Structure 1
Amino acid sequence: MDPIYAPNKEHYDIGFVLLPGFSLIAFSSALEPLRMANHLADRQLYTWHLVSRDGCPVRSSSGLEMAVDCAMEEELSLDLVLVCAGVDVQHYCDRDTLGWLRRLARRRIPLGGVCTGGYVLAQAGILDGYSCTLHWEHISSIHEALLFPAVTFTPQLFVIDRDRYTCSGGIAPLDMMLTLIGRQQGLALAEAIAEEFIHERIREVGDRQRTPLRVRLGRTHPKLEELATLMEANLQEPLCLDELARYADLSRRQVERLFQRYVGCPPLKYYMELRLVRARLLLRQTHMPITDVALACGFISPPHFTKCYHDRFGHSPSRERVRRSAREGGTASGEVRPDAPRVEEV
């Protein structure tokens, strides 16, 4: 049995590795359930240690600095190590950090990633043969750049695969840690923690990251959700309006009325927005040639792609790349693959 679920274990010690630019909300969402578990149980079920590469404080993406307890190389007896990352994570995949994580893996210490921490584990090669997750935006970029072929990325909120624990950004770590606490200490304690945090329900491993269209719009129609799903699944080879209508068993006019009523715009304008947002993510997060980005988002003609992109965002795709280079300027690069996508905090 995985030691993190060892029966009759009275105490668990968890390490949080903070990388520069880590997401404060994701880190807090992972740590606070442990504190509340101790409080509600009225005994120390969990202790934790904050770790940085050199033992110095680490600045989060919000600019707040967090003091840590120790450096990576200090000897700790841990039941689980979670890598907490955020913006520009690829710049902090240095040899020392990756080597340390590989040594922990060889010692069979369970490992996980919070927010973009899973990227670091994948870069270290210790997710090969595992399923894991990142934020949905970054999963698509990794797929387009053909990175980490031995890793299975899923759109789930969080993934627990044997001794690997990964979750997406925001408050997703809260659900992963509540699930962990529930398995270790019982569901009653996990549900009590959720109630203390005014968390309506503990989302499960199988829950997906994307917010359903009906939630984003407040109310919607089943056929509209079906049409939106069809669009999202066919960005590289967009369907025409007649094809969308046929697949949804509607008339062209019915499709137009649905989008106008619930979304407030014509269906093809909504479709174009999905394609352009995807293009912007690829420009920001990968080194794919602009022509390849255009093709991946359904634009056969580069000039047409440039015009549509400029009309939507106020600048050209090439300008987007220049702005990205300016943001990344002066940042020391670590041990990363040459085509590694730029991964940002969510």
Structure 2
Amino acid sequence: MVGELRQVAFLLWPGTHPATVMPALAVLHAANRMAQAELYQVHCFTLDDQPLISAEGWQLPARPWSGEWVRHAQLWLVADSMLLPSSIPAGVAKQCRILVRDGVPVGALEGGIYPLAMSGLLDGHRCAVHWRMLDDFRERFPAVIAGNELFQVDRGRLSSSGGQATLDFFLSLLAEERDPDLAAMVAEELVVERLRDGSERQRVPLRNRLGSTHPKLTQAVILMESNIEEPLTTDEIARHVCVSRRQLERIFKQYLNSVPSQYYLELRLSRARQMLLQTSKSIIQIGLSCGFSSGPHFSSAYRNCFGITPREDRNQRRAQQAMDVIVRV
């Protein structure tokens, strides 16, 4: 259970919330404590000389990266999903390539997947990306095989979609690198009810999101989510799930307090907003891909739903991101 000491380094981009890396640190520190031995020596680095302090006022101990790197068993790039990196320093990219050449695993937590992809080391590899960032990531890095799994390991490239998935990932690594029994003890210590496999999808099961287990409702919503670009009519949905139109409308009213057509419209608009804020696709392209026949039709429906036009919403988001950079960097 003891084994050799393993060095683990986390390189955090400016603006990263300390909570992004805390699940990983919790597992590693708990492993040392439960094994009553120093299995892991953890190092946290920043790209600047600013302390990592959350908005709530708590600070993560870290020291600036000087450009000189000691040999680590694992290197993790970490960034906040709300302040995604726009570049990777040449020295960091070089160090990542050296580690990969030497057979040392290189990983990314949450937004850290962006600089890792920028290094070119993910081309042709599978990785896990948080579902909110997935469209943007796929558009920017078409050579990378990005998925919405919880976490992914592919030929020395490690990736976690973030949040609770990072806890699952490091428990999985602990079981593989050290001892499944130790991983179980750490999971129990951290009050983890179930160890999730990396291949599990990130999104909450549909029936949980709907707050209902009604099979016809679930089938209808799955159909809607699968037909965003070319929406089905309410009659077509009812026919596919083998109920009458009136019965389908009663089910939606009872469980969602909505009618199928309105729920479907809001679903398409939510999808459009996600694309609008995460990708560089034109407003016309987004509207068409979400089932709207024209730009004015899309803009009108969007404004009625969100109280703002698509262009205004995108411009406000970009202005806020620019302000965040000024405030945090």
8 Å contact from structure 1 (residues 54, 72) kept in 2? no
Using the alignment, how far apart are the partners of 1:62 and 1:119 within structure 2?
Answer: 26
Q: Aligned pair 1:120/2:115, yes or no?
A: yes
Report the equivalent of 2:106: 111
Using the alignment, how far apart are the partners of 1:8 and 1:150 within structure 2?
Answer: 40
Q: Aligned pair 1:139/2:134, yes or no?
A: yes
Using the alignment, how far apart are the partners of 2:66 and 2:11 within structure 1?
Answer: 8
Q: One-letter code of the match for 1:38?
A: N
SS across alignment from 1:135: coil
| Residues 1:222 and 1:23: Cα distance change in structure 2 (over 3 Å) | farther
Question: How far 1:75 sits from its partner (Å)?
Answer: 2.5
Question: How far 1:96 sits from its partner (Å)?
Answer: 4.1
| Residues 1:216 and 1:17: Cα distance change in structure 2 (over 3 Å) | same
**RMSD after superposition:** 2.3
Using the alignment, how far apart are the partners of 1:235 and 1:23 within structure 2?
Answer: 34
8 Å contact from structure 2 (residues 107, 157) kept in 1? yes
Report the equivalent of 2:242: 249
Question: Which runs of no fewer than 5 residues in structure 1 stay unpaired?
Answer: 1-6, 334-346
Q: Aligned pair 1:187/2:180, yes or no?
A: yes
Using the alignment, how far apart are the partners of 1:11 and 1:330 within structure 2?
Answer: 43
Sequence identity (%): 38
Q: Aligned pair 1:130/2:125, yes or no?
A: yes
Using the alignment, how far apart are the partners of 2:91 and 2:313 within structure 1?
Answer: 32
8 Å contact from structure 2 (residues 49, 63) kept in 1? yes
Question: How far 1:8 sits from its partner (Å)?
Answer: 8.6
Q: One-letter code of the match for 2:134?
A: I
Aligned residues: 325
Query: Deviation digits for residues 249-274 of structure 1, max 9, x if unmatched?
Result: 33322322222222221122222222
Using the alignment, how far apart are the partners of 1:184 and 1:226 within structure 2?
Answer: 41
The two structures have a TM-score, normalised by structure 1, of 0.86
The two structures have a TM-score, normalised by structure 2, of 0.90
Q: Aligned pair 1:14/2:4, yes or no?
A: no
8 Å contact from structure 1 (residues 85, 117) kept in 2? yes
Q: One-letter code of the match for 1:134?
A: V
Task: Report 1 or 2 for greater relative contact order, CA contacts < 8 Å, sequence distance ≥ 6.
Answer: 1
Report the equivalent of 1:166: 159
Report the equivalent of 1:101: 96
Identify the range of structure 1 (254-263 vs 128-137) with the bigger mean alpha-carbon deviation: 254-263
Question: How far 1:125 sits from its partner (Å)?
Answer: 1.0
Q: One-letter code of the match for 1:107?
A: D
Specify which of 18, 42, 48 is matched with residue 24 of structure 1: 18
Report the equivalent of 1:205: 198
SS across alignment from 2:132: helix
- Residues 1-346 of structure 1 mapped to structure 2, 5 A cutoff: 9-54=3-48, 56-59=50-53, 65-71=59-65, 73-86=67-80, 87-143=82-138, 146-329=139-322
Question: How far 1:59 sits from its partner (Å)?
Answer: 4.8
Query: Deviation digits for residues 84-142 of structure 1, max 9, x if unmatched?
Result: 11122133534444344333333332111111111221121111111111111211233
| Residues 1:17 and 1:255: Cα distance change in structure 2 (over 3 Å) | same
8 Å contact from structure 1 (residues 141, 281) kept in 2? no
Question: How far 1:203 sits from its partner (Å)?
Answer: 0.7
| Residues 1:236 and 1:59: Cα distance change in structure 2 (over 3 Å) | farther
Q: One-letter code of the match for 1:39?
A: R
